[in-house]
Structure 1
Amino acid sequence: MSSKHKAAEDAASRPTSGGLPNYEAAVGGHRDFMEESDAAPLLGHKEDEDGNATKFTNATTYKDVWATILFLVHLVILAVIAYIGFNTELPPYDDNGPSGPSRLKNEDSAPPTSPTPEAGNGLRSFVTLAGTAVAGGFGLSLLYFWAIERFASKLIKISFVVNTAVSGMLAFYYLIIGNFIAGFFLGIYAIIHLIYYVVYRAHIPFTTLMLQTVTTVTKRYPATIFTGVIGLFVQILLSAGWTVAAAGAWRIVQAKKNDDIQHAITIYFVFSLYWLSQVVRNTVHVTVCGVFASYYFTGVSNVDGSVTVNVRNPTAKSAKRALTTSFGSIVFGSLIIALIQTLRFVARQVRSNANQEGNNAVALVAACLECLIAMLEGIIDFVNIYAFTQVAVYGKSYMEAARDTWALIQRSGVELIINDDLTRGVLGLGSIFVGAVNTFIVYIALNIMSLTENTPAVVISMIFAFVLALVQFSILCETIHSGVATTFVCLAEDPDALNRTKPELYAAIRETYPGVALTSRPIEV
């Protein structure tokens, strides 16, 4: 600990006779947030009994209820379509066709054979490889998490080197083989990355501190990672239900033989899949953000360096808020992204059909629209990350959170974008590392089991190992990204709270990045 940090801690913490910080003075205007209440804090203006202005009050108002109702109606429509579909009679098949019943009634067909020892060995090999892939992905994810905590600064720099080197080598390769357009753009991308490093270099210490803080909180509350695991299983269950409904819808399409009905059902089901996925993802994000907000506002530094948080089961409380008072806001924001993704799907289908028909003009227009929609999707998705953070921290409606997020971008947009970009670079590097190394581990296992002669099995196993590792690491990524977003929003909105509760961290942030917006936004009366 530097002398500057120690001086800041001694000046701000004012320990009591018991050796702990003056808790009442430290939390100041945030007592309401710290009470054992399941209500989400809401932006407002009041003064506590000591006269300290606070932005937080306990509120139990459900936000954007109409969006929740619309989401439930959408699920009912899915169920109705599935019910109608499975009660729809399909046109009869040709019994004499190559796949008709006459082929199934072949009396000369061989009787079913009993399982062979080779089949048992195949099952054991599959279980062994699957277990190796799962264990490898889990262990590598934990290893990279530890590396972020210890070497965040080095990982940020390595991510720049890897991106620039890969882009440069690909550019060189494409230029050699004569693909000058791809080589040109990849070369430009590599140069831009070098420029980014020069511009971003001064911001690396701040992002390093943010990542170290987030990993510390995540270790203290591993339920944040478990929340991501639950979200993954919920996503699988909803996808399974969606698949059943889609099977029913396909029966309707087969029975009606109507292109308009087919297009309408296809677009609705694509939209539904996008919406379901976004709701699950953003519910997990809001839940995790609530935990980090609890740590930010209620966690008080002790003289031994530990942090006392006066909230029991913050993950459960945050999940309850996300699934009740804030669920409508989550659904509303997810609806916007789902609509944009659906429009992009439609543009992609139009482009594909135009290419098949040789209509280059329509294909060009559709490609341009697809590009514009993709850009809009990226912008809205970026805003949503911080808007949902506002929903989690302050219990705002979605539109209020989006407006305040835009105001935050206007005040601290450069810092926010750079911090987000550096964080994504570290997590992207981790995805490549975990996926590649896990694939190599499975390949070694294939060699040990003498299974490398079966080329299709090797390829499938390695793809499975890579994808599985990415899925496992993505859960950790979402937790870290949510934590960084929450810490930044809280810091930009109310840095004084951090100074009161964790003065050492506050001093470290001021030292690593003095230019960050460490002035509270005026409280609206």
Structure 2
Amino acid sequence: MAQQGQAAGYYNQEMDRPQYQQQGNQQYAPPLRPPQGYGQQYGPPQQPPQGYGQPYQQPQEPYQPQEPKYNMQPPTYGQNFAPPQDDKQTFQETFKIQKPKFNDLWAGLLFIATFCGFVAVSGLTLYRYSKYHSFNGGGIYGSANDFSLNTNTVVLFAFILCVALVFSWAYFLAARAFTKQFVWLTGILNCALAIGTAAYYLYRRLWGAGIVFALFAVFAVICFISWIPRIPFAVVMLQQAMDIARMKRVHVFLISFIGGLVSVVFGAWFSITLVAIYTSYMPSNSGSAANPSCAGAGCSSGKVIGLVVFVTFAGYWVTEWLKNTIHTTVAGVYGSWYFCAGKPGGIPNGATAGALRRATTYSFGSISLGSLIVAIINMLRQACSIAQQQEAAQGNIIGTIAFCILGCFIGLLDWAVQFINRYAFSHIALYGKAYIPAAKDTWKMMKDRGVDALVNDCLVGPVLTMGSIFVAYLSALLAYLYLEFTHPAYNQGRTFTPVIMAFAFLVGLQICQTFTTPIGSGIDTIFVAMAWDPQVAMTDHPEFWERLVHVYPKVQQILPSV
């Protein structure tokens, strides 16, 4: 079994490989061929590989085993991994856990308690909202409430949800139908929208917001130009992810659609709850009609702020948990393809259901913990965004730029945590480890094996983020235009415009990210699996390996050297 584990997942010896002459300005070597006697220790190839390059030259130095470059305790693959021999073997039997247990249980219990708190706040405020529904109006107009959000805002969020749903699903289908053009399309649309938004705000003499979005537009254009040389590599990875998604026993498109619908339903629930908090506890201004919901109820602005902060935090945590659960489920499916598709039994039977079952049972607490960290960071970024837009609405350029810079630092922190989470959850999907050990082990392994270089050169993650921001921009712009054209009484002087735009941006961003999570999850899992066992890519998926080498020759110096 130890010999099998070594061969299956941990080929740790340096091979003297033939040196090829320079072709142009690029060192190019052909893709390695499957070694003879897979499952046994082997030396350098005795026969020249067929393919590209100059004539093969035998190495002059005798083969000398090297010390392994990767000294971390290997994961359970190679010990508990059992390639399926027939169609009857399940995901749980293929990727076994030695001692099934619920990891990070405290985080799971805290998540459940937070969700129950959200349900309680939502139930109470929605009851009060429905009780005094006539005071808040029955549509866009006709509300006696001129001091807080009302039914006018509910209609706005309904429009935002529809726009986010349509554009998010269309964006996902575009990735499926126009895979080669997808990266180019995303970059161009994102740059065009950023420039158009900045121009519109400057035209409306909103100087603070216009300058901020102009800076975003310049940054987006510079990033897109710098990404052009790496687009072919991203296209190959994206095409491979989509090819896997179309296979039998894989339900990636279904997972994306169901997950996106769930995020839209929760977004509607969150939006109505947010409005209900304002209508239930916001005290009326002097000269306004008294808030009937405040009779004997102790309304105050402090209570509104406290409840809004709580439901926003809960909303972030729930949506992050949903995205990470989808990510972990899809990671189990793509891991099954990588390790099993080339074996006699193929992908395990019920891989999707098995991965989902593990994500919602043994790994529930670990997913909750990783989602909690991201939710806290996003809360800070949301507060910074609201403050930035308030400064922009008041024409304070210095304050706007200061909060913009602070938001960038928070965004970098969010990127770092999200980066670690993506690969840690791929580890958790297959081996059921606790969150912190999985994050440490996966990150150390990827650094030691050089796979982080592949990750940094792959643009799929940034492209999906740009697509989500595109939908979020549309949602925020729709909110602004809606408030400008309907002129609700509560928004005199654009008092609530920054808050509503920030929440519209949040809703659009989270919905689109949920739809596109399965795409990024598949590619992340392929990278992690290649770090665990690069030989499987060469032996079981030779077509994918050759296409990868063709557009990214450096992969031969990274992966085969481990």
TM-score range, shorter chain: 0.5 to 0.7
1:271 to 313, 323, 342: 313
Cα deviation for residue 299 of structure 1 reads 0.8
2:178 to 143, 147, 169: 147
Separation (CA, whole Å) in 2 of partners of 1:184 and 1:475: 27
Change in CA separation of 1:318 and 1:284 when aligned onto 2, cut-off 3 Å:
same
Cα deviation for residue 173 of structure 1 reads 12
1:350-361 correspondence runs (5 A): 350-351=387-388
Whichever residue aligns with residue 209 of structure 1, its letter is: V
CA contact (8 A) 2:427 2:442 kept: yes
Query: Which residue pairs with 2:529 in the alignment?
Result: 490
CA contact (8 A) 2:104 2:434 kept: yes
Query: Which residue pairs with 2:290 in the alignment?
Result: none
Query: Which residue pairs with 1:450 in the alignment?
Result: none
Query: Which residue pairs with 1:208 in the alignment?
Result: 235
CA contact (8 A) 1:164 1:194 kept: no
1:209-288 correspondence runs (5 A): 209-221=236-248, 223-242=251-270, 246=274, 249-250=277-278, 251-252=280-281, 254=294, 255-288=297-330
Change in CA separation of 1:170 and 1:61 when aligned onto 2, cut-off 3 Å:
closer
Separation (CA, whole Å) in 2 of partners of 1:481 and 1:264: 35
Separation (CA, whole Å) in 2 of partners of 1:78 and 1:140: 31
Partner secondary structure for residue 554 of structure 2: coil
Separation (CA, whole Å) in 1 of partners of 2:275 and 2:201: 44
- Segment drifting more, 74-83 vs 180-189: 180-189
Partner secondary structure for residue 333 of structure 1: helix
1:65-104 correspondence runs (5 A): 65-82=105-122, 85=125
Separation (CA, whole Å) in 1 of partners of 2:244 and 2:531: 19
Cα deviation for residue 477 of structure 1 reads 3.4
1:290 to 332, 335, 345: 332
Cα deviation for residue 63 of structure 1 reads 1.6
Query: Which residue pairs with 1:22 in the alignment?
Result: none
Separation (CA, whole Å) in 2 of partners of 1:181 and 1:259: 30
Partner secondary structure for residue 178 of structure 2: helix
2:103 to 39, 58, 63: 63
Partner secondary structure for residue 369 of structure 1: helix
2:431 to 394, 401, 406: 394
Whichever residue aligns with residue 66 of structure 1, its letter is: W
Cα deviation for residue 284 of structure 1 reads 1.0
Cα deviation for residue 342 of structure 1 reads 1.1
CA contact (8 A) 2:90 2:349 kept: no
CA contact (8 A) 1:283 1:323 kept: yes
Separation (CA, whole Å) in 2 of partners of 1:297 and 1:481: 19
Matched positions, count:
414
Cα deviation for residue 416 of structure 1 reads 0.5
Q: Deviations over 1:139-169 (max 9, x none)?
A: 8865652432xxx3x6556766777899899
Query: Which residue pairs with 1:123 in the alignment?
Result: none
CA contact (8 A) 2:334 2:522 kept: yes
Cα deviation for residue 409 of structure 1 reads 4.9
Partner secondary structure for residue 309 of structure 1: coil
CA contact (8 A) 2:129 2:276 kept: no
Q: RMSD in angstroms over aligned alpha carbons? A: 5.3
Separation (CA, whole Å) in 2 of partners of 1:495 and 1:484: 15
Q: Provide structure 2 residue ranges, at least 5 long, that are not aligned to the other structure.
A: 1-29, 40-76, 143-161, 283-293, 475-484, 487-507
Whichever residue aligns with residue 227 of structure 1, its letter is: I
Q: Provide structure 1 residue ranges, at least 5 long, that are not aligned to the other structure.
A: 15-27, 43-55, 105-130, 303-307, 437-454, 457-468
Query: Which residue pairs with 2:6 in the alignment?
Result: none
2:81 to 11, 16, 32: 32
Separation (CA, whole Å) in 2 of partners of 1:367 and 1:393: 39
Cα deviation for residue 387 of structure 1 reads 2.4
CA contact (8 A) 2:165 2:512 kept: no
Cα deviation for residue 220 of structure 1 reads 0.8
- Segment drifting more, 234-243 vs 384-393: 234-243
> Among the aligned pairs, what percent are the same residue?
23
Change in CA separation of 1:309 and 1:356 when aligned onto 2, cut-off 3 Å:
same
Q: Deviations over 1:489-519 (max 9, x none)?
A: 1112221233343344445444543423315
Cα deviation for residue 476 of structure 1 reads 6.2
Partner secondary structure for residue 62 of structure 1: coil
1:341-420 correspondence runs (5 A): 341-351=378-388, 366-407=403-444, 408-409=446-447, 411-419=450-458
